[in-house]
């Protein structure tokens, strides 16, 4: 029995790190059911976890942490309203639980209820002052509601998160002052889409009188070398050139006090290579060449929410005068063959070795239709027409509730009307595609 209780305690501790602190079980029977629910939850079997949480609550309606963790499971599958109800019930039973207030705030943000979300997060911060995760959640809320200036300041809490390693350099962090001949390193941060998006600030940094080096992923070296203001691009494993100060790229909006009204939105700010062998073949009857991307990196925390099954794109394939090209890379590229659409789409994945190659292809397309991935940001940075397909719970990089993007003048946003409704998105995309002007 002592060993069983020890295993249960460890399971509770593990979930507490990812969601909310777990209160002591009310009885062995509910404790064992609860432990089983946690096991299913950690294994990614949300359906089984929800079933077991419900069984626990039927036996013990006062089990606060069953409600709290049920809310986490519900939010993970896009059932935000039900998640909010669970969090609120958990707070009736245990109102001083900071983690539940934080999770409630995140679910409210998912539903664009920003004032309520901030109020819940402020309670979490008051109960556990200085806890970086809650400030991070607050930063995301501010950014998503369009308060870029306040959100960018709060975003600096990311460096105190457990899973956010600091930059690997010892040089001082730049404060935005005149460089006066000094060399600055714009440090690689987060995904390749972020590196493309925020490299636009390099020209503004350069205007302050120094030499600008960018640290980037190998796939971006050729592309980012074309960005105005960039003097040199280096990779993580390359010899580090001498420099004087550093700044992570996602700190640049804070440095320049960016607001929605002052976003540096001039495009293009990247250039495709002039010499390449990526000439697209295009049927003579084709009036429109469209590139598609349906999935992002599976390691991204919300990828299951933002990625769209390839077979949803089949709704667009009935247009006889449109030629489709797949720009999808990675494991998800196999969906093209599995969906039976391989005969309807030209697969370019094997020819795209880096993002400069992708840029060369995008320059030959009339339109890109993609989920929120690096290819979509590249199309926007090139000034190419691009439509981004967004989940119901958006992201601050593609502001929810808008049809345009303040970051990219040529971008159009198509957001789900309800969680998981890709078919509704595709119906609107199809209607827009029918009306898309034929290039002259």
User: Using one digit for the tens of pLDDT, what is the confidence trace for 401-429?
Assistant: 789 999 999 999 999 999 889 999 999 99
* Rg (the chain; Cα; Å): 24
Q: Evaluate whether 366 touches 439 at the Cβ level (below 8 Å).
A: yes
Q: What is the dihedral of CA 327, 329, 335, 340, to 10 degrees?
A: 40
Q: What is the CB neighbour count within 10 angstroms for residue 379?
A: 32
DSSP β-bridge partners for residue 173:
246
What distance in Å separates the CA atoms of residue 86 and residue 69, rounded to the nearest whole number?
A: 8
Q: What is the CB neighbour count within 10 angstroms for residue 377?
A: 30
What distance in Å separates the CA atoms of residue 182 and residue 317, rounded to the nearest whole number?
A: 53
Report the percent of the chain where pLDDT is more than 90.
74
Q: Is the pLDDT of residue 25 over 70?
A: no
93-112, pLDDT tens digit by residue?
999 999 999 999 999 999 99
Give the sign of the dihedral formed by CA 140, CA 145, CA 151, CA 152.
positive
Reported confidence tier of residue 298, pLDDT bands at 50, 70, 90: confident
φ/ψ (deg, to 5) at 218: -55, -35
Q: Is the pLDDT of residue 10 over 60?
A: no
What distance in Å separates the CA atoms of residue 351 and residue 361, rounded to the nearest whole number?
A: 10
Average pLDDT of the chain to the nearest whole number: 90
* 3-class SS shares of the chain: helix, strand, coil, % to 5: 45, 10, 40
Q: Evaluate whether 316 touches 430 at the Cβ level (below 8 Å).
A: yes
Provide the pLDDT for residue 11.
45
Reported confidence tier of residue 313, pLDDT bands at 50, 70, 90: very high
Residue 430 Cα distances to 17, 52, 296, 316, angstroms: 43, 41, 22, 6
What distance in Å separates the CA atoms of residue 187 and residue 166, rounded to the nearest whole number?
A: 10
Q: Evaluate whether 161 touches 136 at the Cβ level (below 8 Å).
A: yes
Residue 29: CB partners within 8 Å, gap ≥ 6?
Answer: 59
Residue that the structure tokens 């993970």 belong to: 76
Give the sign of the dihedral formed by CA 234, CA 237, CA 241, CA 242.
positive
Q: Is the pLDDT of residue 310 over 90?
A: yes
* Domain spans of the chain, in order of start: 2-158, 183-255, 288-435
Residue 154: CB partners within 8 Å, gap ≥ 6?
Answer: 135, 136, 138, 139, 142
- Nearest CA among 430, 175, 190 for reference residue 314: 430
Burial per residue of 37-74, b for 16 or more beta-carbon CB atoms within 10 angstroms, e otherwise: bbebbeeeebebbbebbebbbeebeebbbbbbbbbbbb
Q: Judge: domain 2-158, CATH 1.25.40.10.
A: yes
Reported confidence tier of residue 134, pLDDT bands at 50, 70, 90: very high
Q: Evaluate whether 193 touches 377 at the Cβ level (below 8 Å).
A: yes
Residue 159: CB partners within 8 Å, gap ≥ 6?
Answer: 166
From start to end of 239-326, where are the E strands? Answer: 245-248, 288-293, 322-326
Angle between helical axes of 28-42 and 46-59 (0-180°, round to 10): 160
Reported confidence tier of residue 49, pLDDT bands at 50, 70, 90: very high
Q: What is the CB neighbour count within 10 angstroms for residue 172?
A: 10
What distance in Å separates the CA atoms of residue 272 and residue 379, rounded to the nearest whole number?
A: 11
Region 32-48: what's the mean pLDDT? 91
Region 345-366: what's the mean pLDDT? 95
Provide the pLDDT for residue 306.
83
- Asked, as a colleague might, if the bond just before 376 is cis with ω within 30 of 0, I would say no
**Residue 260: how many CA atoms within 13 Å on its side-chain side?**
15
pTM of the model: 0.88
- Nearest CA among 352, 315, 339, 304 for reference residue 430: 315
- Enter the tokens of residue 46: 């949300």
What distance in Å separates the CA atoms of residue 141 and residue 390, rounded to the nearest whole number?
A: 17
Residue 194 Cα distances to 199, 250, 350, 396, 398, angstroms: 8, 8, 24, 12, 12
Reported confidence tier of residue 12, pLDDT bands at 50, 70, 90: very low
DSSP β-bridge partners for residue 289:
323
What distance in Å separates the CA atoms of residue 428 and residue 107, rounded to the nearest whole number?
A: 26
Q: Is the pLDDT of residue 1 over 60?
A: no
Would you state the CATH architecture of domain 288-435?
Answer: 3-Layer(aba) Sandwich (3.40)
């Amino acid at each position: 029995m002592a060993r069983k209780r020890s295993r249960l305690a460890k399971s509770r501790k593990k979930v507490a790190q990812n969601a909310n602190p777990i209160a002591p079980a009310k009885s062995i029977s509910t404790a064992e059911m609860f432990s089983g629910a946690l096991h299913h939850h950690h294994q990614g079997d949300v359906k089984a976890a929800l079933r077991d949480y419900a069984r626990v609550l039927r036996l013990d309606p006062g089990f606060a942490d069953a409600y709290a963790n049920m809310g986490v499971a519900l939010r993970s599958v896009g059932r935000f309203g039900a998640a909010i109800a669970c969090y609120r019930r958990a707070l009736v039973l245990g109102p001083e639980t900071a983690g539940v207030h934080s999770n409630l705030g995140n679910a409210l943000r998912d539903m664009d209820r920003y004032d309520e979300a901030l109020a819940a997060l402020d309670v979490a911060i008051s109960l556990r002052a200085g806890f970086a995760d809650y400030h991070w959640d607050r930063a995301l809320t501010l950014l998503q509601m369009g308060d870029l200036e306040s959100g960018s300041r709060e975003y600096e809490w990311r460096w105190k998160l457990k899973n956010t390693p600091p930059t690997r350099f010892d040089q001082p962090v730049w404060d935005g002052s005149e460089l006066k001949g000094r060399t600055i390193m714009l440090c690689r941060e987060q995904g390749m889409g972020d590196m493309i998006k925020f490299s636009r600030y390099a020209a503004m940094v350069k205007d302050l009188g120094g030499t600008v080096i960018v640290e980037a992923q190998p796939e971006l070296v050729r592309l980012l070398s074309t960005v105005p203001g960039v003097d040199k691009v280096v990779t993580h494993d390359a010899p580090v050139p001498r420099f004087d100060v550093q700044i992570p790229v996602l700190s640049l909006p804070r440095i320049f006090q960016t607001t929605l009204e002052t976003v540096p939105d001039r495009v293009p700010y990247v250039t495709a290579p002039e010499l390449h062998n990526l000439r697209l073949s295009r049927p003579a009857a084709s009036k429109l060449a469209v590139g598609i991307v349906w999935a992002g990196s599976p390691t991204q925390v919300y990828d299951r929410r933002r990625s769209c099954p390839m077979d949803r794109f089949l709704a667009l394939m009935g247009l006889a005068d449109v030629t489709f090209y797949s720009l999808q890379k990675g494991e998800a590229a196999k969906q093209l063959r599995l969906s039976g659409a391989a005969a309807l789409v030209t697969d370019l994945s094997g020819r795209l070795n880096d993002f400069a190659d992708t840029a060369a292809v995008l320059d030959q397309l009339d339109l890109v239709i993609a989920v929120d991935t690096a290819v979509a940001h590249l199309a926007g940075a090139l000034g190419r027409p691009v439509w981004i397909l967004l989940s119901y719970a958006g992201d601050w990089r593609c502001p929810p509730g808008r049809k345009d993007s303040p970051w990219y003048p040529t971008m159009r946003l198509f957001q789900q009307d309800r969680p998981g409704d890709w078919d509704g998105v595709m119906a609107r995309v199809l209607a827009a595609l029918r009306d898309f002007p034929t290039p002259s």
